[in-house]
Structure 1
Amino acid sequence: MLEQLLHIDGQILLWIQEYLRFPALTSVMKDITNLGNAGILWILITIVLLLDKKTRNVGYMSALALIGSLIVDNILLKNLVARTRPYEVIDGLKLLIEKQSDYSFPSGHTGSSFASAIVLWKELPRKYGVMALIVAVLIAYSRLYVGVHYPSDVLAGVVIGAVLALVSVWLVKKIQGQKKLVK
């Protein structure tokens, strides 16, 4: 069963390469994937949120979710699962960016993107939250497009990021609620 899922993962990447890669789109997808490098886009947004008193709690939520994503995705799971990158094992898959220095599962770019974007979607006015989710989806897809992740890596990043976002929102609201009771 697992071998069959891994085979499907690889076939999806080859299908994307065959039918969805276009020269005009490739440079855009490289730029989009770079937005997720080291979570820098989401870190910068979080810092901006932390600077304004009105959005500080959202900044706390996003920071907590991003730290959780770093720990769960990049420190724990990548090293425990130690999944080889798809471009190293799928015959015919062409890598469009530089080789990655860490393991494949789960996608850290996707995890951090969804961790922060779902916080923003839940806690900011809809137009900002929807924009954040669109960027997160584009970053996630870009990881498949450039050939550095399997679809299951990206799916795991979405799920982990979403869970961490929801836990972070709940935790900050719980802590803030307790603080108000103390005053």
Structure 2
Amino acid sequence: MYQFDAAITAWINTWAGHASTIDSVMIGVSTAGVPLLVLAVVAQWWVPRADPAIRHVLIAAGLSFLIGLGINQLILLFVQRVRPYEAHVTHLIIDRTVDFSFPSDHATASFAIAAAFLVHGLSRRGFWFLAAALLIGLSRVYLGTHYASDILGGAATGFLAAGLVRLAYRENTRLDRLVTGIL
């Protein structure tokens, strides 16, 4: 399995460093992608006619984001996978990072947001967020900082977090009405 993962990762990364325009786009997506997704979620809070059901999903997306990243920290206690550039699978075209590779925090964060919208039935918005999450994940492999399986692991963690939030944070509870009524 590792050879297949390394081969896919190396193939995606092969293109890095050969086209400065694509490199710049991928660096931009990797750098600004997650903050822009968070901004897109937060901005919806003040959209006219943002009813409590939409606000419930926005809170769920934020909780999924945070819980997903928390789950990643637990995983990192047990799985300490070196980055693909350290294993000489990829060549890195951005600055090195100091943490471990699996799972990808970028993928977890972006897929958690997308999954929150999807599991709460806002599929149109969810698919836009999912497309953005896929692009962010691809950019991380392209840049040489993650294996393809790191992105899949992050996606799984993001969907798990959204599922947990869906089970635990119910719409129209007293807490939900309080939180969705803020501002």
Deviations 1:127-148 (A, max 9, x none): 4222111101000111111111
How many pairs does the alignment contain? Answer: 169
1:31 partnered with 2:28: yes
In structure 1, what is the equivalent of residue 74 of structure 2?
76
1:28-177 to structure 2, matched below 5 A, reads 28-36=25-33, 39-51=34-46, 53-54=50-51, 55-73=54-72, 75-90=73-88, 93-123=90-120, 125-172=122-169, 174=170, 176-177=171-172
Kept after mapping to 1: 8 A contact 2:119/2:162: no
Give the Cα–Cα distance (whole angstroms) in 2 for the partners of residues 32 and 124 of structure 1: 27
Letter in 1 for 2:142: Y
1:16 partnered with 2:12: yes
Cα 1:51–1:171 change in 2 (3 A) is farther
Q: Deviation at 1:26? A: 1.5
Higher relative CO (Cα under 8 Å, sequence separation at least 6) belongs to 2
Q: Deviation at 1:119? A: 1.4
Greater helix proportion: 1
Letter in 2 for 1:40: P
Q: Deviation at 1:177? A: 4.3
Deviations 1:141-180 (A, max 9, x none): 11111111111111111111112112223322x3x34439
Letter in 2 for 1:136: A
Letter in 2 for 1:58: V
Q: Normalized against structure 1, the TM-score is what?
A: 0.81
Structure 1 residue runs of 5 or longer lacking an equivalent are none
Kept after mapping to 1: 8 A contact 2:68/2:160: no
CA RMSD of aligned residues (A): 2.2
Q: Normalized against structure 2, the TM-score is what?
A: 0.81
Q: For 1:179, which of 161, 171, 174 is the aligned residue?
A: 174
Give the Cα–Cα distance (whole angstroms) in 2 for the partners of residues 16 and 44 of structure 1: 28
Give the Cα–Cα distance (whole angstroms) in 1 for the partners of residues 65 and 46 of structure 2: 17
